[in-house]
Structure 1
Amino acid sequence: MATDAHRRDLEEDFGPVAELFAALAVPVRAAIVHRLTEHERSVGELVETLGVSQPLVSQHLRTLRLAGLVSVEREGRRAVYRLTDAHVAHVFLDAYHHSREPGDG
């Protein structure tokens, strides 16, 4: 029987990883992270490469920033986004490549 202590342990141990994958669970956000694995980009560059609106890109970048997956640096009036660290790229690319493999059934 699950106890409150077990549930707390599950939340402590696996809550952060669930939040990470939840942040990536929207295709536009996954595409943004994929583009940022290549190199840092401005909002305008992401809009151009993804073919979606600037407000939509900005909204998803905010979510990714709040999740700790991307950071922003201001260069004058230009905001440049990058992944927070190499672990983010590694986790994302592993999941991306795994999802592209043919299934075995």
Structure 2
Amino acid sequence: MGNSSQIDHAARVFKALGNPARLEIVLHLSDHACTVTELVECTGFSQPLVSQHLAKLREVHVVKGEREGKATRYSIVDAHVAHVIHDTLAHTQEGERHD
């Protein structure tokens, strides 16, 4: 069982992931690291929106950014988060088949 600060952090992570756009961004980043421009292209979201979502995900240490020249390439900090999302999506699909 986690201590109070671990539970608090987990709640912040789940809250950050509670946004469909952020979930989509994390799913893209679980495939490979991307720049903001690449995320804009593959999600269709605006650049300011992608940047805002990345800031929220960085806040809770889900993603990190590494400078590459003028751009920053974002990646998942911990693959466990991506696994939780993929497992949740699989669970959702299973539930749809049983309805």
**Which residue does 2:40 correspond to in 1?**
47
Cα deviation code 1:34-72 (max 9, x no counterpart):
101110001001001000100000000000000100000
Gaps of 5+ in 2: none
Task: Give the TM-score, by structure 1 length.
Answer: 0.82
Count the aligned residue pairs.
Answer: 97
**Which residue does 1:3 correspond to in 2?**
none
What does 1:24-39 correspond to in 2, within 5 Å? 24-39=17-32
Q: Percent identity?
A: 44
Secondary structure (helix, strand or coil) at the match of 1:68 reads coil
**Which residue does 1:90 correspond to in 2?**
83
- Give the deviation of 1:14 after TM superposition: 2.7
Secondary structure (helix, strand or coil) at the match of 2:27 reads helix
The answer to whether the 8 A contact 2:9-2:60 is kept is: no
Task: Provide the alpha-carbon RMSD of the alignment.
Answer: 1.9
In our comparison, the structure showing a higher alpha carbon Rg is 1
- Give the deviation of 1:103 after TM superposition: 5.9
Cα pair distance change 1:10/1:73, threshold 3 Å = closer
**Which residue does 1:73 correspond to in 2?**
66
